[in-house]
Amino acid sequence: MTFHPFGDSALLINFEQKIDEVINARVIALAEAIEAAPILEATFITPAYCSLAVGYDPLKIGFEDFSKKIKSLTPTDPSHFATKKDRVLEIPVYYSEPHCLDMSEVMQQTGLLAPEIIEWHTSVEYRVYMMGFLPGFVYLGSLPKQIYCSRKTTPRLKVPAQSVGLAGQQTGIYPSEAPGGWQIIGRTPQKIFDSGKQNPFYFMTGDIVKFYAV
Amino acid sequence: MTKTTTFHFKKIGLLTQVQDMGRIGYQAFGVPVGGAMDKASAQTANWIVGNPPNNPVLEITLLGPQIEIKGNGQIAITGADLSPQIDGKSMPMFETVQVSSTSVLSFGKIKNGCRAYLAIRGDWIVKKWLGSCSASSNNSAGLTPDSNFQKGSILTVKTKLPIPKRTLPAEVCPVHSDLCKVRMVEGPEFEKFSARMVGFFFSRSYKVTPDSNRMGYRLNAEVVDFKPDREIISSATIPGTIQITNAGQPIILMADAQTTGGYLRLANVISADMDKLAQVKPGDEIWFSLVSLEEAGLAFSP
């Protein structure tokens, strides 16, 4: 772990720079430790794949002292790094017309037929590595190598809410209608973002997700 | 019986939104902080009408709206001078102004700055999302239906007893020049830029391009010799982050910035200079300088 100033009111903690579930579990364990600890100066936390940004109030504390407080929390017990296997969320997906907007492009890129793409996409458990881009957008990884595919050259202006897409070695779900460049292969009926609820977010970072075709 | 004053939008202007201090603490779920771009101006406007600092305000960008007021109330305008007028007569800024029924508030020529802030004394009837009235940048999701306006929209405010007039002393009124000096501290990937690139970046001035908005300012120059071998693995971004795209274009992330990104982060604007950056309009000139964290801390002192 390395600590870096990130502006004058946040710090960035970099873990080994790799997309890896054990490293991501460490990021989340530290994020949870910071949330659980009474660090009054902390203002926000943004966990990502292998880094964690933590905001502080610069009128109350400086970078060095804030870093020290966080270092003193660093979880040392390896059991804290376990993934949250208790949160396995099974998500139904319509991989059919009219929801699979980019299936033919994915077929071209991968050289596979639609049923094979669906088979690969539903064959593994994914980890919610982080949320970002839009409120509630989940970055899930990693895809089986067979269905890696690049983003669309020109992003679509409107991707429907709950569309399931592919980008590089990641898969993701759109929480609301938005412009976007991911290759859309289906859509889930499961609302993953509901602004009317007390907690609008269906997923948490660290959740395990398994897709099945309906 | 509670009295209300209503504000009827006859013309909406370029971009008029409800903003407060934003929603802090939901970045882990991908929710941008948002909030007023020039926070000091928003809080000052609220102070002038006796509201708490986090009360909503109207953030008015460049071309102001035309609003018909029904009911009595106290208002104040701070920030950019967009030639505010009441019933066609010049309205003073930085002081409490009493308005009465059928007054029409309008705006004229842009004299200085980019964003004006209109505070209205009382409790605004505006739907909050995650504790904030700030207009969501994710517009299509309909999260903050009362915070963006269309022709014919009505904003309702529960009025409170008037306060004695407050005037901001002239010596603390901000001055918005068309030349803006902004200080930065080194960003997380600063070391990945060559000395030549850093030298180039800080030795010239920039203009913000017309496609700049509340999410980010695109600057009108490319960094020389910039050939990143790859993007970083997506990591946090915050308002004030200067990221350099793969094509070498610098972008300063502003209030509605995404919470994560994959471009290299060269530097971060210091907190004390974010408000003045919010008042830069397309065509204005910006100069950057690099300061230490200690100097950034000292900049908080008035």
Residue A58 has its nearest CB partner, among B236, B238, B300, at B300
* Of B234, B260, B261, B264, residue with least CA distance to B249: B264
Last residue within a domain, chosen from B150, B172, B194: B172
Q: Is the pLDDT of residue B64 over 70?
A: yes
Interface of A with B in 160-179 (CB under 8 A): 175-178
Please state which of the ranges A74-78, B71-75, B218-222 shows the lowest mean pLDDT. Answer: A74-78
Q: Which of A77-81, B173-177, B225-229 has the highest mean pLDDT?
A: B173-177
DSSP notation for A137-164: -EEEE---GGG-BPPPSS-EEEEPTTEE
Residues B260 and B280 placed together within one structural domain of the fold: yes
Average per-residue pLDDT for chain B: 92
Q: Using CA atoms, how far apart are residues A209 and A213, in angstroms rounded to an integer?
A: 13
What's the rounded mean pLDDT across residues A177-204?
92
A172 close to A138: Cβ distance less than 8 angstroms = yes
Given CA atoms B114, B89, B45, B157 in this order, what sign does their dihedral have?
A: negative
Q: Is the CB of residue A1 less than 8 Å away from at least one CB of chain B?
A: no
List CB contacts (< 8 A) between B136 and chain A: 135
Residues B125 and B186 placed together within one structural domain of the fold: no
Number of independent structural domains in chain B: 2
Instruction: State the pLDDT confidence band at A193, using cuts at 50, 70 and 90.
Output: very high
The 10 Å CB-count burial string (b at 16+, else e) for A164-185 is: bbbbeebbbbbbbbbebebbbb
Q: Do A7 and B271 touch (CB under 8 A)?
A: yes
Alpha carbon A208 to its chain centroid, in Å, reads: 11
* Of A136, A112, A138, residue with least CA distance to A197: A136
Question: Which CATH code for domain A2-81?
Answer: 3.30.1360.40
Interface of A with B in 12-71 (CB under 8 A): 12, 14, 17-19, 31, 43-53, 55, 58-59, 62-63
Residues B70 and B33 placed together within one structural domain of the fold: yes
pLDDT at A78: 45
What's the rounded mean pLDDT across residues B111-122?
97
Residues B260 and B225 placed together within one structural domain of the fold: yes
CATH C-level class of A88-213: mainly beta
Residues B146 and B187 placed together within one structural domain of the fold: no
Complex ipTM:
0.90
Residues B107 and B81 placed together within one structural domain of the fold: yes
Q: What is the CATH number of the domain that holds B248?
A: 2.40.100.10
Q: Measured between CA atoms, how close is B131 to chain A, in angstroms?
A: 11
Chain segment B244-300, per-residue pLDDT in tens: 987 888 999 999 999 998 889 999 999 999 999 999 999 899 999 999 998 888 776
Alpha carbon B197 to its chain centroid, in Å, reads: 30
Residues B234 and B260 placed together within one structural domain of the fold: yes
Residues B165 and B184 placed together within one structural domain of the fold: no
Domain limits, chain A: 2-81, 88-213
Q: Is the pLDDT of residue A60 over 60?
A: yes
Range(s) of the domain holding residue B158:
4-172
Q: Measured between CA atoms, how close is A76 to chain B, in angstroms?
A: 23
List CB contacts (< 8 A) between B31 and chain A: 135
Chain segment B1-25, per-residue pLDDT in tens: 569 999 999 999 999 999 999 998 8
Instruction: State the pLDDT confidence band at B140, using cuts at 50, 70 and 90.
Output: low
Instruction: State the pLDDT confidence band at A81, using cuts at 50, 70 and 90.
Output: very low
Residues B204 and B158 placed together within one structural domain of the fold: no
Residues B38 and B72 placed together within one structural domain of the fold: yes
Residues B25 and B58 placed together within one structural domain of the fold: yes
Chain segment B170-194, per-residue pLDDT in tens: 988 888 888 999 999 999 999 999 8
> What percent of chain B stands above pLDDT 90?
76
Residues B188 and B243 placed together within one structural domain of the fold: yes
